[in-house]
Amino acid sequence: NAGVMQNPRHLVRRRGQEARLRCSPMKGHSHVYWYRQLPEEGLKFMVYLQKENIIDESGMPKERFSAEFPKEGPSILRIQQVVRGDSAAYFCASSPRTGHTDTQYFGPGTRLTVL
Amino acid sequence: AQTVTQSQPEMSVQEAETVTLSCTYDTSENNYYLFWYKQPPSRQMILVIRQEAYKQQNATENRFSVNFQKAAKSFSLKISDSQLGDTAMYFCAFMKQGNNDMRFGAGTRLTVKP
């Protein structure tokens, strides 16, 4: 059973460009979470999605950031018009069950560098 | 709001010895979960151990065990027989039951010395 997959592992963008980060949850998992980790800090929750639905986006900046988890394909975290402050590691996690708090399994992360 | 505090930014231990990493949290909830995650230099987040707040028995996973003190809101991680591969950042995390997001501490950087 493959773990949570994220790609790319490293992404370099210039200010003003768009960044697209992809996450494929573990097989059988229908819940996806995105976290951001700034250097030397812990992870900060951004958004929680189920298939075709955003359940909780309370941690996501109101502008430039969006997330989706379509019926088919990976979850996408999209950052428009990136700025240097967006440079961070972005982690995706998945969990299997509905209506329960369950363990989240993390992907290897995508390290975004904004030049 | 729930907060998680890890008061030890860095720690070191000799190989084969035992080390304890501390974590305290602040919550008014009664039902919640606590986790320790390990982040080695590869930056992968790896689940080490998990504790349900309603369980009085401390969780154990091989060389890893916790000391969960609910009244004191303390959740320390003990690593026995430390190995070089245990060198990593360790993050304590809290999640309220029925909630979606985990709250992480700032982490403790553990170095195991040969």
Residue A97's pLDDT band (cuts 50, 70, 90) = low
CA dist A90 and B75 (Å) reads 26
The CA-to-CA distance between both ends of chain A, in Å, stands at 37
Amino acid A78: pLDDT: 98
**pLDDT single digits (tens) A33-60:** 999 998 878 899 999 999 889 988 999 9
- Across the interface, whether the CB atoms of B100 and A33 are under 8 A apart is answered yes
Side-chain half-sphere of B50: how many Cα atoms within 13 Å? 12
Residue B94's pLDDT band (cuts 50, 70, 90) = very high
Query: Distance (Å) from the C-alpha of residue A89 to the closest C-alpha of chain B?
Result: 9
CA dist B98 and B85 (Å) reads 34
Amino acid A98: pLDDT: 56
Chain A residue with minimal CA distance to B36? Answer: A103
The answer to whether A4 and A107 are in contact (CB under 8 A) is: yes
- Across the interface, whether the CB atoms of B45 and A43 are under 8 A apart is answered yes
Per DSSP, the residues of A72-103 read SS-EEEEE-S--GGG-EEEEEEEE--SSS---
The full 3-state SS of B57-109, as one line of letters, equals: CCCEECCEEEEEECCCCEEEEEECCCCHHHCEEEEEEEEECCCCCCEECCCEE
Amino acid A75: pLDDT: 97
Amino acid B56: pLDDT: 85
Query: Distance (Å) from the C-alpha of residue A14 to the closest C-alpha of chain B?
Result: 24
The answer to whether A64 and A13 are in contact (CB under 8 A) is: no
- Across the interface, whether the CB atoms of B105 and A91 are under 8 A apart is answered no
**pLDDT single digits (tens) B29-67:** 888 999 999 999 888 889 999 999 988 899 999 999 999
Query: Distance (Å) from the C-alpha of residue A60 to the closest C-alpha of chain B?
Result: 12
* pLDDT > 60? residue A99: no
The answer to whether A30 and A50 are in contact (CB under 8 A) is: yes
Amino acid A91: pLDDT: 95
* pLDDT > 90? residue A74: yes
- Across the interface, whether the CB atoms of B105 and A42 are under 8 A apart is answered yes
* pLDDT > 60? residue A17: yes
**pLDDT single digits (tens) B57-92:** 999 999 999 999 999 999 999 999 999 999 999 999
